[in-house]
């Protein structure tokens, strides 16, 4: 009996404890334990130092030039193609070019409409990417990359009597041209050169042996990094006047940058300008998103790496141009701030660029 009583008492206790555990506590308003105050500062949104030049369309890869005392910008034209993003840039499926113009930095910017469309170029299949322009022989020349009907990037050229077009393309791409991102540079003696190239989606790695090879890959180790390409243009500006040459970018010790040096090696976005008699070759490092520059004494290089012009921007790509206007130097660039960070919907911007007394360029950060 005593044992049974003990068991009965124990059972009652267990049931009571379980019941209490499952009951909600009565309200004790004013006596609840208070959560610790969140002292984490709110995330600070980056404040751009510059605003988009135009907002009616998405633009990127701006190549700026001064013609007839005005500034003309030759960008690529982004739009929503609905193609999934990948490392080859398939979602960058641009199909035409709009040219921007302005009387001065800070003045109203005009979108001059479609200058040329891929449907007007017989050899083009898809993806009209970053262009550039030049003036010679009383004409304006638009250089542009696009994939041909075999899906191989080539460089095309189109001409116009006006800097804003419309442009009429040659029936065929420039002979022996390949890859992307052409940059037309006029040297002091009037000679024109075309710089170009871009790895990954730009297919430069497929031309390491001078022929298109889908099995070729970029060196990502201690081997020399792939260099951009350059060729002198013919007098009529329509063809290469010589075999294409590879440019070497060196470190301060005179050694070629290695393929694994992602923070400094060339990826895409060639640009050439001169400052106080020296050649400044600038470019994007691509997957590390810097605009870097290297200097030399010949348009063919080699060029010695000097530093960063522009730190990474909102979006994946970083692409630029540098131009002098009325005694000041300017950096044209893009980011994805207008689209809320969509990497394939970008906007063109401009900010002043400054040199130090030794000729080095002061690094720019596009946000405060």
- How far from 50 is each of 47, 337, 363, CA to CA, in Å? 9, 11, 15
Active site residue 87: no
Annotated catalytic residue: which of 61, 132, 181, 335? Answer: 61
CA atoms within 13 A on the CB side of 279: 21
Of 203, 242, 253, 252, the C-alpha closest to 226 is 203
Active site residue 358: no
- With b for 16 or more beta-carbon neighbours within 10 A and e for fewer, the 109-132 pattern comes to bbbeebbbbbeebebbeebbbbbb
In sequence order, what DSSP letters do the residues of 341-363 get, joined into one string?
S-TTS-EEEEEEE-B-TTSPBPP
CA distance 340 to 329: 29
Of 310, 317, 309, the C-alpha closest to 347 is 317
Beta carbons within 10 angstroms of residue 5's beta carbon: 9
Annotated catalytic residue: which of 78, 132, 268, 335? Answer: 268
Assess contact for 97 and 77: CB atoms under 8 A: yes
CA distance 278 to 275: 5
Q: Tokens in use for 152?
A: 């191989």
Of 177, 168, 181, the C-alpha closest to 148 is 177
Of 290, 324, 293, the C-alpha closest to 310 is 290
CA distance 359 to 59: 31
Assess contact for 145 and 154: CB atoms under 8 A: yes
Phi, psi of 359 (to 5 degrees): 90, -5
Q: Known catalytic residues?
A: 61, 268
């Amino acid at each position: 009996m005593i044992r049974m009583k003990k068991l009965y008492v124990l059972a009652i206790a267990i049931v009571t404890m379980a019941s209490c555990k499952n009951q909600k506590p009565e309200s004790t308003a004013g006596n609840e334990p208070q959560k610790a105050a969140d002292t984490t500062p709110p995330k600070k949104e980056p404040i751009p130092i510059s605003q988009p030049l135009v907002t009616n369309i998405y633009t990127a890869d701006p190549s700026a030039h001064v013609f007839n005392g005005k500034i003309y910008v030759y960008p690529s034209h982004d739009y929503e193609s609905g193609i999934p993003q990948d490392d080859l840039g398939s979602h960058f499926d641009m199909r035409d070019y709009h040219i921007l113009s302005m009387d001065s930095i800070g003045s109203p910017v005009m979108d001059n409409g479609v200058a040329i469309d891929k449907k007007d170029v017989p050899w083009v299949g898809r993806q009209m990417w970053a262009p550039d322009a030049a003036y010679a022989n009383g004409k304006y020349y638009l250089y542009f990359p696009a994939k041909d009907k075999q899906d191989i990037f080539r460089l095309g050229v189109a001409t116009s009597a006006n800097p804003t077009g419309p442009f009429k393309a040659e029936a065929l791409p420039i002979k022996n041209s390949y890859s992307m991102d052409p940059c037309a540079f006029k040297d002091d003696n009037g000679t024109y050169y075309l710089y170009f190239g871009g790895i990954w989606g730009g297919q430069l790695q497929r031309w390491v042996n001078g022929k298109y090879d889908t099995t070729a890959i970029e060196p990502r180790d201690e081997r020399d990094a792939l260099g951009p390409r350059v060729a002198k243009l013919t007098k009529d500006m329509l063809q290469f006047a010589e075999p294409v040459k590879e440019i070497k970018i060196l470190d301060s010790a005179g050694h070629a940058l290695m393929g694994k040096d992602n923070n400094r090696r060339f990826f895409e976005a060639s640009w050439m300008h001169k400052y106080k008699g020296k050649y400044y070759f600038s470019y994007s490092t691509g997957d590390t998103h810097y605009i870097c520059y290297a200097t030399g004494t010949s348009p063919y290089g080699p060029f010695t790496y000097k530093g960063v012009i522009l730190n990474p921007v909102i979006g994946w790509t970083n692409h630029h141009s540098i131009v002098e206007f009325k005694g000041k130097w300017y950096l044209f660039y893009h980011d994805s701030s207008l689209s809320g960070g969509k990497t394939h919907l970008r906007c063109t911007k401009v900010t002043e660029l400054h040199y130090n007394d030794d000729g080095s360029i002061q690094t720019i950060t596009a946000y405060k």
